[in-house]
Amino acid sequence: MVWEGLWRHFWAPGGMDSVLTKILSMSSPISLTFGLRVDSLSFTPGSAKVKVCGVRRTFSEECDGGRNKTVTDEEFVTDEEFDRVIVCVPAPDAVAITGLAKILPAEHRRVLGGVRYDSRWAAAHYFGPELRQRADEKFGRCAEINVDDEGSAVHFLAFQNMKQKTAEKKNGVDRAVAIVAHGVAGGEALPAEAIHRSLGRLLGMEEADVKALSIGGEKVVNWKVAQMVLPMEAIVNEPPQDPPWTILSEAGPRPRVVIAGDFMTQSSFLGCVASASSAALAISEEMKNSD
């Protein structure tokens, strides 16, 4: 990367909810809604509202005698109306939202449609608590370590326990060790043996010993839109700068939709912060001016 330490992953130990709650406690009295996947936008002539059709996810816990908890994850389709909408997704996904492309100028559609990403596989594996001391010693204060062994399908390993601020014991039992392996760009799905081998090399263990500590429950994700490989600045000489890194689209009497994303600046934590900040500023300033 261009600057020392730029390529670094950050996380919120208490979850993103803790960050958002803190920010909202200091913000203006604007009611915000998160966690809604936007599938389509529609606009009623003469109305100042944006109708959003999308999917919400809800989580609930069921207790068994106060000991065991079962978390259920449900999705449901919803239609809701909002004064303003911020779409913060990869550029191709933004263009794919029904109704959004219709209100964008042709040049905006061309630029957004030209942004490209690579694809990667990620797999979460869980191991017995016996692995915890070795993982603590090797990862230290880092949550992720590049492995990139020659011929390996694994790019880096993430120590998820570092990212989750939860009790070390649950019901008196030591927590499992969670390791997420991220594959190389364009690679195939990560086989368990490749992950056991890479983790063994990292921790100074035999592959068979790592496998013996596996407790199952793996989760595999095909990350189709992963790292950006063709940013907006490679497509257009002057990316949107007023407000920075956002596009305001006119739909009716006032701008009501903002498109934001790190693809407008740089694919890094700094880019995410810059894009999110400028999107929030654009909305708040626009709402002040419209009052």
Distance CA 112, CA 244 (A): 15
Residue 53 to residues 58, 232, 280: CA-CA distances in angstroms? 16, 28, 22
Range list for CATH 3.30.70 in the chain: 120-223
**CATH assignment of 120-223?**
3.30.70
User: pLDDT tens across 42-53, in order?
Assistant: 887 777 788 899
**Which tokens is 236 given?**
């257009």
Read off the pLDDT band of 63 (50, 70, 90).
very low
CATH of 16-116+229-290, one of 1.20.1740.10, 3.65.10.10, 3.50.50.60, 3.90.220.20: 3.50.50.60
Q: How far is CA 4 from the centre of its chain?
A: 23
Residue 205, burial from CB neighbour count under 10 angstroms (0-12, 13-18, 19+) = middle
Distance CA 198, CA 149 (A): 8
Asked if 153 and 184 count as a contact pair (C-beta separation under 8 A), the reply is yes
Range list for CATH 3.50.50.60 in the chain: 16-116+229-290
User: pLDDT tens across 17-47, in order?
Assistant: 777 777 777 766 677 777 778 899 988 777 7
Which residues does 35 contact at the CB level (< 8 Å), separation at least 6? 56, 57
Please indicate, yes or no, whether the overall pTM of this predicted structure exceeds 0.75.
no
